[in-house]
Amino acid sequence: MQDQLNIKNARRLLVLLAAALICSLPQLGNGEPLQKSTPAEMVDALNGVFGKQTTGRAVHAEGIVVEGSFTPDPAASALSKAPHLQKSKVKVTGRFSNFAGLLVVPDTDPLASPRGLALKFHLPDGSDTDLVTHSFNGFPAATADEFRAFLTALGTSGSGTAAPTPADKYLAAHPLAKNFLATQPGPPVSFGTISYFGVNAFKFTNAAGTTTFARYRIEPVKGERFLSKGEIAAASPDYLQEELRQRLPGNPLRFNFVAQIAEHGDRLDDPSIAWPDSRKRVQLGMIEFDSVATDSMAREQALLFLPMALPSGIEAADPMLKARHDAYPVSFARRHQ
């Protein structure tokens, strides 16, 4: 009997290994795209968790728009020929947000985490390049289809669902997704006292044609700080936006913009796996936010961040970026119907 179990486990392991190998390829052998989910289905899955959209985003619905600048570090141009990584300072529009696809969620609620920071760098030629990050070093799924399955499991596991729920089953089989839900950092003192991670990998090319693969990190200059238990209990529902409005202008938020360099063996196509902190880092420059947009609510509606709006010198290395890029306009269109 034990031998039969070992054979069964070995077969299961081989199947899992084969699946992992297939998922690392951008296309199936017959040329069919690996991703099966359509952009609309991805947004539908988010709506299944948080409710049908009316005027807000499918996820990270509650946010605030800020303005500022990015000053590149001299080391940045050695990594990429992208225009905002050269010598000149460029303007930046940012959007801080809470995670849930709900327009009102208390800042201390677990549904508020991970926090989001989306960036739009305004380039010298009048075009923009965007970056979408969140405050957790990792993602709940390796691929877009797996992320949809994760959302579907959550969306079909309401309070009246018999145990084990679809979410219970999914999380039992996907420890990284369970870890994503269980190990989020606590409420920060400010949107400016927590780090943000671009969990998808990019390919950087400099003027000499040298290529490097890396992920972004955005780290507060003054370090991370989080609320104590007592401060959490006393915090107002919108304390993060209130803190920003009181702080800016006069006391800017400053972040180090960093590239974490991939080494041999690091997965470029799996954002659920964090790269070791020991990886080389390149200082790209400093992001500084000095004002809240006076028309923040109107800007909220108008802003669309596209992860593959990229300049020459930066390319997507993770297939999930294409899936995210295609889903965001669907969400944008639905909130403008």
Catalytic residues: 60
Residues 6+ away with beta carbon under 8 Å from 323: 35, 37, 39, 42, 144
User: 63 with 104: CB under 8 angstroms?
Assistant: no
CA-to-CA separations, 71 to 84, 108, 130, 251, in angstroms, rounded: 8, 32, 16, 17
Distance CA 168, CA 153 (A): 8
DSSP designation for 170:
H
Distance CA 19, CA 31 (A): 17
Q: What is the DSSP string of 171-237?
A: HHH-HHHHHHHH-----BSSTTSS-EEEEEEEEEE-TT--EEEEEEEEEETT---B--HHHHHH--T
Distance CA 61, CA 43 (A): 13
Distance CA 68, CA 117 (A): 13
User: 183 with 195: CB under 8 angstroms?
Assistant: no
